[in-house]
Chains A and B, each alone.
Chain A
Amino acid sequence: MLRRGDVLDGVYQIIEEIGAGGTGIIYKAYHLRLGRYVVVKKIKDEVAARINARTEADILKRLKHTYLPQVYDFLEVGGGIYTVIDFIEGQSLDYYIKNGYRVEQKQLLLWAKQLCEALVYLHAQTPPIIHSDIKPQNIMITPQGNVCLIDFNISLDGQGSSQVSGLSAGYAPPEQYPENWPPMMGMGGTPYPMVMPLDARSDIYSLGATFYHLMTGVKPEKSTGPVTPISVRRPPYSQAFVEIVEKMMQPDPNRRYQTAAELLGVLTNIRRLDRTYIRHRRKQHIVTIVFSILMTLSVLVSVTGFLKMGTEQEAQYASLVEQGKAACENGDYESGILLYDQAINLYSTKLPAYYEKLLAYVEQGEYLACVQYGRLIFTNPGLTEAMEADPVGAADLYYMIANAWFEQENYAKAVGYYEEAVLRNSENPDYYRDYAISLARMQQVDEAQQVLSTAKNCGMDNDSVTLVEAELLLAEGDWQQASERFEDVFLTTQNDTTRYQAYLLCARAYRTGGKLDEEIEVLEQARGAVASNRVGAIVSALAQAYVRRAQSAGGNLQADCEKALECYETLKAQGNGSTEMRLNTAFVNQLLHRYEEAEQILTELQAQSPDDYRPYMRLALLYGAIEDEKPQETRDYTAVREMYEKAVAYYEQARIQGVSDEQMQVLETMMQQIIDGGWIG
């Protein structure tokens, strides 16, 4: 026992005893050489008996931490062991508790974190240093407001694990009390050992108990019995902090924070335990999740809608094409073409609507319009790819244009397009049939034979073969045998298209042979024999046959022209108002000297199609005929010249597209005669 004034080791003069810790007595002393106050701690004899003084000295001297006092010296004097450490200015936490200070939560948290940092440091030593006696008396608060954890010692056993012997009731964890040790440790009446191995969790309990005391002002009960939970005492601190202290003081070490580092992490992020914070975060998560789901659903609905739009658009396209076909079958080509245009607007790169539109032009005899539209299709760069991707569809388009040229009797052009069609689809016998017929009409009999044999190889039906063979006979001048063959076909075939073609070809054979009555007879017969959608074309051919006969030597002009007009009226009633038909109507009226009706029709046509050369050409011819009937002194060919000039201008544009019109030659001749006759300058 040291007294005031004693000098230890010739250096440390004892000033006073300032306390007794779990592991020894503490004195305030004066360092005679350095002239500063230090703390001298005498290790209890029972502890001193078990320690390796040198090793302990080395470990303690090595410790350097902001919140731990510096150990200066380690002495063995008179059989006692002393440690000399920093004298810490300020008051212990015990002082604040006893004086009833209420420490702010912010300050408490700061101290708790600082103490945790000190514990992390101690526990990280090798071997770990367990304080084992954390309590308000052992925590100093410096004048700067920081903590300093004092009064720690270590004692090493042979295994290198730490053992402690400090024990302060209320602050010591249950496992530190001998009565709580497992029975085997005291079996057979042998006394309990003096110490029990402890770990970091014991210090965590003691720290929790210290804060319990600070926060409630009530020292926790001895942990050998039940300890009133801190939450029951309702300290004026946040729920999060109370919960942390409660967890630190769990009787079962496994239910406490397992390391000081873990506790430090929790204290650092204490706001994350706050219920307001948790509610706020939960709200954020719910909002994010709900809106993510809603937005994902929106995207899914939108994508589904987009895909559905595609299928709907395809269905709508198919429906428009079908409606167009139905309209055309009923003779309403105008509506049909409008529907095809709508389909094309939906899918400008799909070929079926283009094909049907071309077919509609051909069926109503608008061959020039068909050719012009075909030209637009083939020069459209947007369709090039579609035609490469769908060669069969492209072949159909070429075939339809070829048919338009065929109907205009421009067989050279037709052959060119049939070749293109065959090139893209060599398996359609219809292409070969019409290709061979075109060649035959160009008197290219050998080539036609060659195409016919190719057609036979790709499965052309017998009726079509007969048609081509008959056409070849016609090319060789044998119109009688040709007409017989055609007749055989239209009487026996089951195919509507073949029957229709056979009638037309047969009529043409009679015409070639100069048998205009038979031609008309065959066409009249055809009128009742072909499918309803083909009747229009037959009636149109019949009207032309009547006009031809009217102009022939054996015809009856008035009666035949009236018959022709009847045919055109029938076509008009069926909704066929094609330019070709109206031009022909005007021409028949002209033949009947009904000039006003003819002029009215042509003027209407000219207004409707101002870029079409044909109304101008017909008007020029009409005005020429009118002037020719006048007395010479009253003739005025000014209007003829005006119409002629316009016709020539627009005809030049049509010629670029391959159009060739014999009537323009007639007009040229007429104009030359007018000029030669000096009727105009």
Chain B
Amino acid sequence: MTLGQWMFYGGIVSFSVFCIALIIIKIVLASKGKRLKARFDAEYGPEK
């Protein structure tokens, strides 16, 4: 494996890993956001 190949395939793999990590974190944050929304709806009333 040459340096260029390491960079090329490493870039693809790390991009994929970051992509998956971002999706997972987004899902976690979205579920947290839903809980937050429910809490706010109780606290401030439903959003218009």
* Chain A contact residues, CB within 8 Å of chain B: 105-106, 109-110, 238, 268, 270-271, 274, 276-277, 280, 283-284, 287-288, 291, 294-295, 298-313, 316
Contacts and interface: CB of A to CB of B under 8 A. Distances in A.
Given A280-B29, A309-B2, A274 B19 contact: no
Nearest to A308: B4
Contacts of A305: 3-11
Interface of B: 2-12, 14-15, 18-19, 21-22, 25-26, 29, 32-33, 36, 39-40, 42-45, 47-48
5 contacts: A110-B45, A280-B32, A287-B25, A308-B2, A310-B4
Contacts of B40: 271, 274, 277
B11 A308 contact: no
A514 B37 CA distance: 108
A271 B48 CA distance: 12
A268 B10 CA distance: 48
Contacts, number: 95
A312 B3 CA distance: 9
Given A105-B44, A238-B43, A271-B47, A299 B11 contact: yes
Tell me what chain B mostly uses at the interface: helix, strand, loop, or mixed: helix
Contact of B44 (A271, A280, A302, A303): A271
Contacts of A270: 44
Contacts of B25: 287, 291
B48 to A, nearest CB: 6
A298 B8 contact: no
Nearest to B19: A295
A302 B15 contact: yes
A106 B43 CA distance: 6
Contacts of A308: 2-4, 7-8
Nearest to A310: B4
A301 B10 contact: yes
B15 A268 contact: no
A646 B32 CA distance: 81
A294 B3 CA distance: 20
A298 B14 CA distance: 6
A1 B22 CA distance: 75
A110 B15 CA distance: 47
Nearest to A284: B29
A287 B12 CA distance: 20
B10 to A, nearest CB: 6
A312 B21 CA distance: 32
A302 B5 CA distance: 9
**Most B Cβ at <10 Å: residue of A308, A313, A316:** A308
Nearest to B23: A291
Contacts of A268: 48
Contact of A312 (B4, B32, B44): B4
B5 A277 contact: no
A427 to B, nearest CB: 37
A653 B38 CA distance: 83
A302 B36 contact: no
A566 to B, nearest CB: 47
A311 B4 contact: yes
A302 B18 contact: no
